[in-house]
Amino acid sequence: MMMSFGMFVFGLSTTAYQDLQRQTSWRHQSQGRIGRRPTRQFLGPGEDTITLTGTLLPQFTGGQQHLDQLREMANQGAAWPLIEGSGLYYGLFVIERLNERKSSFMRDGAAQQIEFDLTLQRIDEDNPEQLASGLALRALTSAAGGLV
């Protein structure tokens, strides 16, 4: 397992990524002063964005169905915990964007290569309305056949 995003596991058999880019910002408000440079006040953390980039080869790795699962998660509009395989917890993220590019087509139009970019945006963890807990429990229950 490379990383898990809620119930979705990134790995060689699903959606392996080759690049992880993280961009974090902090907010500093500028206040103008007469005859001096502006002063700055630290307002707290800003945006925290993670972009995963990868190439899928459906004959050997995951394929379109895994990108469709991520799209379904994005359609729910919920936040999911992002945890690296090493155990590093990044926080709660929502899917902001999923781009895909297909190439090397077979006769039936199926792509032999799918490149993707997945952009995740961190949210504050104090907003329980955005958490996917109820959705995740329903998904677990249906996956376990009602045993949970």
Please choose, from the candidates 27, 24, 26, the residue with its C-alpha nearest in 3D space to the C-alpha of residue 48: 24
Share of the chain above pLDDT 70, in %: 84
Quickly state the pLDDT bin for 143 (edges 50, 70, 90): very low
Quickly state the pLDDT bin for 80 (edges 50, 70, 90): very high
CATH T-level topology, domain 3-143? Elongation Factor Tu (Ef-tu); domain 3 (2.40.30)
Type of residue found at 86: S
Domain boundaries, the chain: 3-143
Quick one: average pLDDT of 31-48? 94
